[in-house]
A and B are shown apart, each in its own frame.
Chain A
């Protein structure tokens, strides 16, 4: 049990801390671009500036933070999981674990799934905060919207259910990001070329599944909320 816990913590660090940099960068820029482009499209003087903050907030919470970040994570984490397991398979490291009497699926795959389920929602929450902050920074820096107006807009018509919906999406995507590459990596046959192929395939399929799940969840949960 101690070894499983150790492996889980190792995976949490690898997946969570390892993806922190890319999540910070894309989140800030997503929020910033979102603020600038929203302002560009709101040409009518009848629409208050606070609308920019509301649109940035809702797009970041509903779509950018959970979906875009998870698609990026599918590439970063998915390829890592598939290639790591694939390499272990072709170099007989998985066989070595089996010989030792270790259940390789529960030792190698389960900690990765649990680590993804623990860390990816945290990364998504972080992405929401950073995306909204990025919008604030860009709005202030370009003079589109003052910080006070932006903060006021953030508080207007806020629907807490959107955060809950984003978290449901992030748990679903975390499961997809961890299981599909694990399957492709664990059952790879051949050599280095096949590892590369299975890694690419797992990322492509994960991305498609994320988009598909995104639509299904939106259709089911947002409709219900309305």
Chain B
């Protein structure tokens, strides 16, 4: 579990995060959503320690991350895996070397053991037989999966994903979402995902924090979103006509009216729903 209280972060005069508090739950996909520039990435970078918050406290499993010294943070970071927006694979290394890198750094395992672990995680992300390929030879989706494999190779307790679906087609995005969800449940990790992909929100949003201009605007889960009356959230999530209709459909479905042909006709004719 990751808890953060009253986080504030500014760059010069520009305040990016203001009094943000939330709890990221263990074994769930915790989403941070918001428009571009709303502070999602800064929030995540504060959580992993790439940025220092000006104010507030971050607590990992009851231990204050804010109060940790460099060595304590170094130890904690060995329990953190992160998937970056651009995958951030090391260009000069093969897939195998990329995934083996954290094991090389932090363990004294034999090469055979390391290779076994690399093949295990590659199999887990459905990528077998690409050990000797370089990142430049992989598609966007494959790079993301290699990034996930590298992030989970040391069995981390916390997984951070920054825009895991950016630049991917909807089908591949769903594969990545499902993979992250499955891994989160399988290893009981605390997963924090930054996204503005609405499919992801509706698929894996078990605990959602919506940021609006650097402030906490709304929290809930994917079911709560359907019935939310928060205007800013609705404008953001259901911005397109298609998603707006989808919301109406879901509401009807939830109210048990979807089987009524007359209601469907009303919906398709654009009638308002109570």
Contacts and interface: CB of A to CB of B under 8 A. Distances in A.
A152 B77 CA distance: 65
Nearest to A10: B92
A59 B73 CA distance: 54
Nearest to A100: B102
Interface in A74-115: 87, 91-93, 95-96, 98-102
B75 A96 contact: no
Interface string A188-204: 00000000000000000
Interface stretch (B83-91, B168-176, B179-187): B83-91
A101 B78 contact: yes
A92 B48 contact: no
Nearest to A96: B88
A214 B135 CA distance: 42
Contact of B50 (A2, A93, A95): A95
B135 to A, nearest CB: 10
Contact of A95 (B80, B84, B105): B84
B86 to A, nearest CB: 6
A65 to B, nearest CB: 31
Contacts of B101: 100
A3 interface: yes
A164 B36 CA distance: 59
Give the interface size bracket for B toward A: 20 to 34
Given A99-B48, A99-B77, A100-B77, A93 B102 contact: no
B113 interface: no
Contacts of B48: 99
B105 A3 contact: yes
Contact of B74 (A87, A96, A101): A101
A86 B120 CA distance: 33
B253 interface: no
B84 A92 contact: yes
Nearest to B84: A92
A2 B90 contact: no
Contacts of B89: 93
B104 A99 contact: no
Interface string A147-180: 0000000000000000000000000000000000
Contacts of B75: 101
B84 to A, nearest CB: 5
B82 interface: yes
B50 A99 contact: yes
A221 B273 CA distance: 89
A96 B75 CA distance: 15
A93 B84 CA distance: 9
Contacts of B104: 2-3
B118 to A, nearest CB: 16
A101 B90 CA distance: 16
A87 B76 CA distance: 27
A107 B75 CA distance: 17
Contacts of B50: 95, 98-99
Nearest to A4: B105
Given A91-B86, A92-B86, A95-B50, A102 B80 contact: no
Contacts of A95: 50, 84, 88
Contact of B91 (A3, A87, A98, A100): A87
Contacts of A3: 104-105
B77 A101 contact: yes
B102 to A, nearest CB: 5
Nearest to A101: B77
Contact of A96 (B78, B84, B106): B84
A101 B81 CA distance: 10
Contact of A101 (B73, B84, B85, B88): B73
12 contacts: A3-B104, A87-B91, A93-B89, A95-B50, A96-B90, A99-B80, A99-B160, A100-B106, A101-B74, A101-B76, A101-B77, A101-B106
3 tightest CB-CB pairs across the interface, nearest first?
A101-B77, A92-B88, A96-B88
Given A91-B88, A100-B102, A101-B106, 4 more contacts: A96-B88, A100-B101, A101-B74, A101-B75
